[in-house]
Amino acid sequence: MKFYSQDRVPVLEALQKFKTMRVVPFDVPGHKRGRGNPELTEFLGQKCLDVDVNSMKMLDNLCHPVSVIREAEQLAADAFGAAHAFFMVGGTTSAVQAMVLTACKRGDKIILPRNVHRSVINAMILCGAVPVYVNPQMDHSLGISLGMRLEEVRDAIRENPEAKAIFINNPTYYGICSNIEAIAALAHAHGMLLLADEAHGTHFYFSDRLPKAAMHVGADMSAVSMHKSGGSLTQSSLLLIGPQVHAGYVHQIINLTQTTSGSYLLMASLDISRRNLAIRGSETFDKVIDLVEYARQEINAIGDYYAYSQELINGDSIFDFDITKLSIFTRSIGLAGIEVYDILRDEYDIQTEFGDIANLLAYVSIGDRPKDIERLVSALMEIRRNYRKNQSGMLRAEYINPQVACGPQQAFYAPKCSLPLAETTGRVCSEFVMCYPPGIPILAPGELITEEILDYIRYAKKKGCSMTGPEDMDIKRLNVVEGKV
Amino acid sequence: MELWFTEKHTPNVNFSIKVDRQLYCSKSEFQRIDIFESKEFGRFLTLDGYMMLTEKDEFIYHEMITHVPMCVNPDAKRVLVIGGGDGGTVRELLRYTTIESVDLVEIDALVVEACREYLPQTAGCLGDPRIHIYYEDGLKFIRHCENEYDLIIVDSTDPFGPGEGLFTREFYGNCYKALKETGIMVNQHESPFYQEDAYAMQRAHKRIVESFPISRVYQAHIPTYPSGHWLFGFASKKHHPVRGVDWARWNSLGLKTRYYNTQLHAGSFALPNYVEEMMRDVE
pLDDT given at position A136: 84
pLDDT given at position A435: 78
Cβ pair B174:A381 closer than 8 A: yes
A135 in the same domain as A54: yes
B118 in the same domain as B41: no
Q: Interface pTM (ipTM) of the complex?
A: 0.88
pLDDT given at position A479: 94
pLDDT given at position A442: 87
Would you call A472 helix, strand, or coil by DSSP? coil
pLDDT given at position B162: 80
Contacts of B210 in chain A (CB under 8 A): 347
For position B219, which CATH number holds?
Answer: 3.40.50.150
Domain boundary among B53, B74, B91: B53
For position A427, which CATH number holds?
Answer: 3.90.105.10
What is the per-residue DSSP string for chain B? Answer: ---EEEEEEETTEEEEEEEEEEEEEEE-SS-EEEEEEETTTEEEEEETTEEEEETTTHHHHHHHHHHHHHHH-TT--EEEEEE-TTSHHHHHHTT-TT--EEEEE-S-HHHHHHHHHH-HHHHGGGG-TTEEEE-S-HHHHHHT--S-EEEEEEE---SSSTTGGGGSHHHHHHHHHHEEEEEEEEEE---SSSHHHHHHHHHHHHHHHHH-SEEEEEEEE-TTSTTSEEEEEEEESS--SSTT--HHHHHHT----SS--HHHHHHHT---HHHHHHHHHH-
Query: Within an 8 Å CB–CB cutoff, is residue B162 touching chain A?
Result: yes
**Greatest alpha-carbon span in chain B:** 58
Name which of A297, A345, A378 to mutate to probe chain B: the one with the most chain B Cβ atoms within 10 A of its Cβ: A378
- What's the total number of domains in chain A? 3
A361 in the same domain as A419: no
B202 in the same domain as B101: yes
For position B29, which CATH number holds?
Answer: 2.30.140.10
Cβ pair B139:A385 closer than 8 A: no
B91 in the same domain as B44: no
Contacts of B170 in chain A (CB under 8 A): 348, 375, 378-379, 381-382
User: Do residues A386 and B173 touch, judged by C-beta distance below 8 A?
Assistant: yes
Cβ pair A382:B170 closer than 8 A: yes
The string of pLDDT tens digits covering residues A219-237 is: 999 999 999 999 999 999 9
Contacts of A381 in chain B (CB under 8 A): 143, 170, 174
Cβ pair B162:A371 closer than 8 A: yes
Q: What is the mean pLDDT of residues B165-184?
A: 95
The string of pLDDT tens digits covering residues B205-235 is: 999 999 999 999 999 999 999 999 999 999 9
pLDDT given at position A484: 65
Cβ pair B137:A349 closer than 8 A: no
User: Do residues A453 and A429 touch, judged by C-beta distance below 8 A?
Assistant: no
Closest CA to A358 of A468, A459, A469: A459
Q: Does residue A450 belong to any structural domain of this protein?
A: yes
A67 in the same domain as A81: yes
Cβ pair A381:B143 closer than 8 A: yes
Type of residue numbered A250: V
A200 in the same domain as A135: yes
Tell me the count of A-B CB pairs closer than 8 A: 48
The string of pLDDT tens digits covering residues B131-154 is: 999 999 999 999 999 999 999 999
Q: Chain B residue with minimal CA distance to A344?
A: B170
Q: Chain B residue with minimal CA distance to A295?
A: B140
Cβ pair B173:A382 closer than 8 A: yes
Q: Does residue A326 belong to any structural domain of this protein?
A: yes
Residues in chain A where the model's pLDDT stays below 50:
none
As a whole number, the mean pLDDT across chain B is: 96
pLDDT given at position A180: 98
A364 in the same domain as A251: no
d(CA B151, CA B39) in angstroms, rounded, equals 36
Q: Positive or negative CA dihedral for A428, A431, A437, A439?
A: positive
- What's the total number of domains in chain B? 2
The string of pLDDT tens digits covering residues B239-280 is: 999 999 999 999 999 999 999 999 999 999 999 999 999 999
User: Do residues A277 and A205 touch, judged by C-beta distance below 8 A?
Assistant: yes
Type of residue numbered B273: N
Query: Within an 8 Å CB–CB cutoff, is residue B169 touching chain A?
Result: yes
A420 in the same domain as A468: yes
Query: Within an 8 Å CB–CB cutoff, is residue A349 touching chain B?
Result: yes
Peptide bond into A171 cis (omega under 30): yes
Q: Quick one: pLDDT band at residue B7, thresholds 50, 70, 90?
A: very high
pLDDT given at position A35: 96
B114 in the same domain as B157: yes
Cβ pair A382:B210 closer than 8 A: no
B244 in the same domain as B110: yes
- The parent domain of residue A476 ranges over 408-481
The string of pLDDT tens digits covering residues A357-398 is: 899 999 999 899 999 999 999 999 999 999 999 887 777 766
pLDDT given at position A135: 85
Cβ pair B165:A371 closer than 8 A: yes
Q: Does residue A169 belong to any structural domain of this protein?
A: yes
Q: Chain B residue with minimal CA distance to A348?
A: B169
Would you call A53 helix, strand, or coil by DSSP? coil
B47 in the same domain as B167: no
A236 in the same domain as A321: no
pLDDT given at position A462: 86
Catalytic residue numbers of B, as ranges: 155
B68 in the same domain as B49: no
pLDDT given at position B177: 96
B182 in the same domain as B111: yes
Nearest to A378 among B143, B162, B210 (CB): B143
Q: Does residue A399 belong to any structural domain of this protein?
A: no
A357 in the same domain as A328: yes
A306 in the same domain as A206: no
Q: Does residue A2 belong to any structural domain of this protein?
A: no
Number of H helices, E strands in chain A: 14, 20
B172 in the same domain as B34: no
Q: How many residues does chain A have?
A: 485
Q: Does residue A190 belong to any structural domain of this protein?
A: yes
Element (H or E) spanning A88, and its range?
A: strand A84-88
Q: Does residue A4 belong to any structural domain of this protein?
A: no
- The parent domain of residue B43 ranges over 4-53
A244 in the same domain as A157: yes
B107 in the same domain as B24: no
Closest CA to B266 of B224, B204, B219: B219
B257 in the same domain as B125: yes
Residue A363 neighbours by CB under 8 Å, 6+ apart:
A228, A326, A352, A353
B166 in the same domain as B75: yes
Name which of B30, B107, B142, B169 to mutate to probe chain A: the one with the most chain A Cβ atoms within 10 A of its Cβ: B169
A161 in the same domain as A38: yes
A426 in the same domain as A339: no
CA distance B211 to chain A (A): 10
Residue A477 neighbours by CB under 8 Å, 6+ apart:
A418, A419, A420, A421, A470
For position A317, which CATH number holds?
Answer: 3.90.1150.10
Give Cα A400 distance to the centre of its chain: 21
Q: Chain B residue with minimal CA distance to A372?
A: B165
